Amino acid sequence: MNKWILGGLALSLCLNVGLAGFIVGEQHGPRFRGPDPVNSYPRWARHLEKGRRAELAPLLRAPMQMRRSHREQLRERHQRVRSLLAAAPLDVDALEQSLNNLNAELTAQRDLSQQAFLRFVQQLDDAERRSLADAMLRRGGPPHAKPPPNRPEPRPVM
């Protein structure tokens, strides 16, 4: 009976410490919530004139094509981690290697996205870069004076 009480107390202590850490982290952690604003630039480009948007289209498509080409590798690495976690007995060395491989793939994708962003930004003029920077600082992205292409105008609310 004492073993059950000690186990319950240990579990309670772990949960309380975890909850306290979560609360402290929320109060003192980074204030930004949501996806990386650097990844929002294709959406930002929708407000550009049609000709300018067409001119920048290849630079906007490049990161999406890159992500598509790496998606299967990423799925396989995630699946490998899941299968190693579910295996009995746990092979810690294989799990560590699998997590390192997953991290390497994620890092490679992030680096490619960063390079695509840099190539895109180099093609913008000063006013466009300032507009992009302002949009990245606002929560929710850029204001859209008109709906994105291929979307109907919103109906008036009565």
Q: Domain limits of the chain? A: 36-137
Query: pLDDT, tens digit, for every residue of 34-59?
Result: 455 555 677 777 778 888 888 888 88
CA dist 11 and 4 (Å) reads 10
Amino acid at 63: P
- Diameter of the chain measured on Cα atoms: 76
Q: What is the pLDDT of residues 105-150, one digit of tens each?
A: 888 888 888 888 888 889 888 988 888 888 877 655 445 555 555 6
Instruction: Note every long-range contact of 14-17, with CB atoms under 8 Å and residues 24 or more positions apart, other chains counting.
Output: none
pLDDT of residue 2: 82
pTM of model > 0.75: no
Q: How does DSSP classify residue 53? A: H
Q: How does DSSP classify residue 108?
A: H
pLDDT of residue 48: 81
Cβ–Cβ < 8 Å for 149, 46: yes
pLDDT at 141: 45
Q: What is the pLDDT of residues 56-90, one digit of tens each?
A: 888 888 777 777 778 888 888 999 999 999 998 98
Rg (CA), the chain: 23
Q: What is the pLDDT of residues 92-114, one digit of tens each?
A: 999 999 999 989 988 888 888 88
